Amino acid sequence: MAELKPYRGNYYLWQYIPSTEAAGVFAALFILGTLYLVWKITRTRAYFCTVFIIGGIFEIIGYCARAAAKYKTDVLIPYVIQSVLILIAPALFAASIYMVLGRVIRGVHAEFRSVIPVKWLTPIFVSGDVVSFVIQASGAGIMVTGDSMKTGENIILGGLIIQVIMFGLFVIVAGIFHSRIRQWPTAPFLENRAKWEGIMVMLYTVSVFIFVRSIFRVIEYAMGQDGYLLKHEWTLYVFDAALMLGVVVAFAYQFPSGLTKNIVKDEENVDRELTNRDESH
């Protein structure tokens, strides 16, 4: 029978006995979603999405470790694996999402509609994401040892706040671009409007999911080890696992294929068509 055991002395790694069933279900679902995306990426050669796959693999390993921890609540390795990988996986999803927006803007030849120069857009957001990733991973590494738990929690909190800020800015930048391209559409955008609109809706959807999850994590770590969120397992599955699975499903459903090659007219033709549109009005 499973029981909650101390790691050493009176220090407990877990606040509850982790559910093998719940972790197993989500591990299986992440496996299915990740395998489908591997197939899509290989088929469409959208290799810029590879980092998204790594995020999916982190989720799989993380939940497999949780599933194995039910009868090993006093063993450090499963706890460390699930704690770190589930925490940082969304940062890898975010990196792919940031790259998609830049490719969409270039794909519709609307660099002049972006509030941030496109050549800087992806580097800015991905750099912020990397900083958030490193900070969270460092904090998790410190926290799981139990030696400086409060310090680790504060470091993770800082990384999560950076992630929230970057996502908030990203949604604003994406929203401004979307509004402008709708008001002043380019020829490539009009030629395949349904596709571009679908990708933008997907970006908003996954951004909201990751944003909400990050807010949950901020509150969780702000409340600390004695807080309700860290003491009740259901909160992790509702506000993290389910939302991140939603990110995988949304990304797979509206997969950003066709952004690796030039599928629209050259800039000269686009400019000519825009000029003709302006003259007709």
pLDDT tens series, the chain, 281 aa: 778 888 888 888 899 999 999 999 999 999 999 999 999 999 999 999 999 999 999 999 999 999 999 999 999 999 999 999 999 999 999 999 999 999 999 999 999 999 999 889 989 999 999 999 999 988 887 876 656 778 888 899 999 999 999 989 999 999 999 999 999 999 999 999 999 999 999 999 999 999 999 999 999 989 988 889 999 999 999 999 999 999 999 999 999 987 755 443 433 443 444 445 445 54
Q: Which residues pair with 11 in a beta bridge?
A: 8
Q: How many CB atoms lie within 10 A of CB 204?
A: 15
d(CA 267, CA 239): 44
Q: Which two tokens stand for residue 82?
A: 């699930």
Residue 44 sits in a domain whose CATH number is 1.20.1070.10
Q: Which residues of 174-185 are buried (b: 16+ CB within 10 A; e: fewer)?
A: beebbeebeeeb
Residue with tokens 């993290």: 240
Identify whether 1 is part of a domain: no
User: What is the domain extent for residue 55?
Assistant: 20-268
What's the total number of domains in the chain? 1
Q: What pTM, to 2 d.p., does this model score?
A: 0.87
Query: Which residues, other chains included, contact 216 with Cβ-Cβ below 8 Å and sequence gap of 6+?
Result: 229, 235, 239, 240
Query: Which residues, other chains included, contact 277 with Cβ-Cβ below 8 Å and sequence gap of 6+?
Result: none
Identify whether 7 is part of a domain: no
Identify whether 10 is part of a domain: no
* pLDDT for position 260: 59
